[in-house]
Amino acid sequence: MKMNYENQWNELADIKDELAQRDWFMGTSGNLAIKVENSPLSFLVTASGKDKRKRTSEDFLLVEQNGLPVEETTLKPSAETLLHCKVFQQSKAGCCLHVHTVANNVISELFSEEREVTFKEQELIKAWGKWGQEDSLTIPIIYNYAHIPRLAEEFGLHVNEDHGAVLIRNHGITVWGKNGFEAKKLLEACEFLFQYKITLLQTKRMELFN
C-alpha cells in the first residue's frame, strides 16, 4: 500500500523554500527531514545533490529507520541521511534540518578546540526555552569525519533530547525539534547567535587596534 505523506511533504517543501530564501543551500549543500510514521519509523528526506532552491516533485523520498528507500525510486537519499536516522531513532523529534552557512562554519572553527560554543545573556536563547537570568545555551562541535557512519556515530552521542543542535566543524549545523516549526525556529535562533558572536568578536578586535 502506498503511504500518504502529502501533508509532511508540503510542510517540508515550505520550510525548504523559506531556508532557500535565506540562501542557506549554497552549492547544493544542506538536507532536511520530516517524520511520517513512528512505528515502523519512516521519514521524508531530501534527495541527494539537488539544487534545494528549486521546488520539484523529486525533492524528497521516503526512507525507513536505516535510511533506505521505502518505495521504488531512482532518487538517492541525502548523503547525510544517517544523521537524520540518529535523530528520529534516539528522540521524539519530528523534523531535522541541516544547513551550511558562513556563520556556522566560522563559529565551528573559532570554537573547535573548546568543542562547544556557549551563549549567555543573549535574548534569543529564549527561543530554546532558556528564560532564566543565569541560563545559557551550549552547542557541541564535532569533527567533520568524511566517513558518514563515523560522523553519524559521533553526532548521535549528542542526540539526548527531543530538540537540539550540533555544529559539524567547517561543515554546517544540524538542528532538530518536535516539529517543523520548532526546528526552524531553533535553527534561525542559532544562526542569529552565530552572526552576533562573529560581529561582536570582529568589533572588539577592531577596537583593540584603534
Ligand X SMILES: CSCCC(=O)C(=O)COP(=O)(O)O
Cα–Cα distances in angstroms (integers) from residue 141 to residues 47, 81, 111, 179, 197, in the given order: 26, 19, 8, 23, 16
Q: Which residue number, 94 or 172, has a Cβ lying nearer to Zn ion?
A: 172
Q: Which of Zn ion, ligand X, none has residue 49 at its interface (CB below 5 to 8 Å by kind)?
A: ligand X
Interacting span for Zn ion (CB under 5 A) from 50-58, 114-122, 134-142, 166-174? 166-174
Contact with ligand X (CB under 6 A) among 48, 112, 170, 179:
48
Shortest separation between residue 170's beta carbon and ligand X, angstroms: 11
Contact between 30 and ligand X per CB under 6 A:
yes
Site map 98..137 versus ligand X, x via CB under 6 A: x---------------------------------------
- Burial 53-84, CB ≥16 within 10 A → b, else e: eeeeeebbbbbeeebebbeeeebebbebbbbb
Is 82 within 8 Å of 149 (Cβ atoms)?
Answer: yes
Helix axes 180-208, 6-21, angle to 10 degrees: 20
Q: Which of Zn ion, ligand X, none has residue 94 at its interface (CB below 5 to 8 Å by kind)?
A: none
Shortest separation between residue 171's beta carbon and Zn ion, angstroms: 6
Distance of CA 30 to the CA centre of its chain: 8
Q: Which residue number, 63 or 125, has a Cβ lying nearer to ligand X?
A: 63
Shortest separation between residue 25's beta carbon and ligand X, angstroms: 9
* CA–CA distance, 15 with 24 (Å, rounded to integer): 11
* CA–CA distance, 192 with 21 (Å, rounded to integer): 16
Residue numbers at the binding site for ligand X (CB under 6 A) = 27-31, 46, 48-49, 78-80, 98
